Amino acid sequence: MSHIIGSADFDSLVLKAERPVLVDFFATWCGPCKRLAPVIDELSGELEGKVDVYKLDIDQSPDVAARYKVNSVPTIIVFEGGEIKAKTVGAVPKQQLLQML
């Protein structure tokens, strides 16, 4: 199961992580985000111990969304070593998310 994080813990959990991190920038009112949620949860379970998977509500953490220029949701960003490794927008298939990693 993926965990919801916010502005307060973003830097420590994502930017300072020792392994790759996939962040699902979402909104509670977003239909495609709701369709993507089970895929994100599935990935979280499959990749446990290899990749950290988090969700970030853009309405609760607009500062982080602005910092990474998240203008549409869902936006998926993969971070590695505190840097953006890959980014995609929209409810993409699981295989595409795996390729980003």
Three-state SS across the chain? CCEEECHHHHHHHHHCCCCCEEEEEECCCCHHHHHHHHHHHHHHHHCCCCCEEEEEECCCCHHHHHHCCCCCCCEEEEEECCEEEEEEECCCCHHHHHHHC
Question: Rounded mean pLDDT of 63-92?
Answer: 97
Residue 20 confidence (pLDDT): 97
Identified catalytic residue from 5, 23, 30, 77: 30
Residue 53 confidence (pLDDT): 96
Which fold would CATH assign to domain 3-100? Glutaredoxin (3.40.30)
**Torsion sign over Cα 27, 31, 101, 85:** negative
Identified catalytic residue from 21, 27, 33, 56: 33
* Model confidence band, residue 62 (pLDDT cutoffs 50, 70, 90): very high
Residue 2 confidence (pLDDT): 77
Question: Rounded mean pLDDT of 27-50?
Answer: 95
Verify whether residue 30 is a known catalytic residue. yes
Residue 37 confidence (pLDDT): 95
Verify whether residue 33 is a known catalytic residue. yes
Percent of all residues in the chain with a pLDDT value above 70, rounded to a whole number: 99
Q: What is the pTM of this model?
A: 0.95
Classify 93 in phi/psi space as left (phi over 0), alpha (psi -120 to 50) or beta. beta
Q: Where are the domains of the chain?
A: 3-100
